[in-house]
Amino acid sequence: MATHGARGRSGGRPTLEEVAARAGVGRGTVSRVINGSPRVSDATRAAVEAAVAELGYVPNTAARALAANRTDAIALVVPEPETRFFAEPYFSDMLKGVGAALADTEMQLLLIFAGNERERARLAQYLAAHRVDGVLLVSVHADDPLPDLLAQLEIPAVISGPRSSAETLPSVDSDNYGGARQAVEHLLSRGRTRVAHITGRLDVYGAQRRVDGYREAMSDAGHGVDEGLIEAGDFTEEGGYRAMVALLERHSDIDAVFAASDVTAAGARRALLDAGRRIPQDVALVGYDDSAIARHMEPPLTSVRQPIEEMGRRMIDLLLTEVADRRPLASRGLERRQMVLATELVSRSSS
């Protein structure tokens, strides 16, 4: 495993040609074996595989990419907006799923940041150069031009979190609507009646769906939907704080809060404590994401967990199918290309 046998001249890595010579076959045959073509006799295949092993042959990706016009690479594009988006477990968990799914393939993963204009211009170049076979899009805003660019360049892409109910790209999402319902129903089942909701950024489709879930859970339970119990947040702690202050001002009888994210819940918590409310005795609190913050909050925060790792895996599956089909847009069967994964309520002492 350490030193290899004979090499080409000058210590370079062995080439297809050398493997062919060693195995006593032609270049084409070795190529067929390497690529798993069925049109090779068993004897020949064995000979070639032996030669490959002896020489420690590893295909040259650049040559392959050039000849075959594919790159065997996909890009994960991180818009990474203003904030340190991916300090969130959301990102790392997804990466874990992506990594796991990718481990089964020959694909490599490129991480591309598209936070500012400069990076976006660079990304556009990348894509124009078709340096990747497919693209994974995470946390894309409704008005982002990226998806259109990808469509135009005919590069397969999968989006996590559709931009709207009319999303045209294949997508993987968790059940925001259902997750919100779970949270609210949980609070109601604990005897709470005045349940408020602090939303996420409403230009994010998933945040809207959570509001929908909140609304319908409330009305289905026979509580009318009091619009005054809904206050817009923006997924930040500061936003959560402000929203909670506003809510308490309007309705001092709130006995439960469903926040659209754990960070938002952290802000709400501060506002509640500042107002002298106890959690959960006076006001129960539920967050969303089940991030590290939730576990370490005082009291530990009940939260809705999304199967993010699973989402990452599914995104890769979808994307690889897409890449294999090479029918980026026109492809039929979009019905099966939008998946929604179930969420799970993690109950802790804040509710």
- Can you tell me the distance from the alpha carbon of 23 to that of 51, in angstroms, rounded to the nearest whole number? 6
Among 46, 53, 67, 142, binds DNA (CB under 7 A): 67
Q: How far is CA 108 from CA 31, 97, 133, 209, 315, in A?
A: 21, 14, 10, 34, 15
Classify 205 as helix, strand or coil. helix
Q: 243 by DSSP, 3-state: which?
A: helix
Size of the site for a copy of itself (CB under 8 A): 47
Site for a copy of itself contains 223 (CB under 8 A): no
How far apart CA 111 and CA 312 sit, in angstroms, is 14
Applying the rule CB under 8 A, the residues between 160 and 199 that interact with a copy of itself are none
Among 36, 43, 82, 118, contact with a copy of itself (rule: CB under 8 A)? 118
Beta strands in 291-331 (DSSP E): 302-305
Question: Sign of dihedral through CA atoms 80, 89, 110, 140?
Answer: negative
> Of the listed pieces 32-40, 162-170, 252-260, 338-346, which binds DNA according to CB under 7 A?
32-40
95 binds, among DNA, a copy of itself, none (CB under 5 to 8 A by kind): a copy of itself
Tell me which of 21, 34, 96, 341 binds a copy of itself, using CB under 8 A.
96
Site string for a copy of itself, 249-268 (x = CB under 8 A): -----------------x--
Asked if residues 77 and 114 have their Cβ atoms less than 8 Å apart, the reply is yes
Instruction: Please pick, from the candidates 11, 36, 38, 276, the single residue that binds DNA as defined by CB under 7 A.
Output: 38
Query: Can you list the positions of beta strands (E) in 251-310?
Result: 256-259, 284-288, 302-305
Reduce the DSSP state of residue 318 to 3 states and report it: helix
Residues in contact with a copy of itself by the rule CB under 8 A: 13, 56, 58-63, 65-66, 71, 76, 80, 84, 86-87, 89, 91-93, 95-96, 99, 102-103, 108-113, 115, 118-119, 122, 125-126, 128-131, 266, 292-293, 296-298
Residues in contact with DNA by the rule CB under 7 A: 12-13, 15-17, 24-29, 31-32, 34-35, 38-41, 43-45, 57, 59-60, 63-64, 66-69
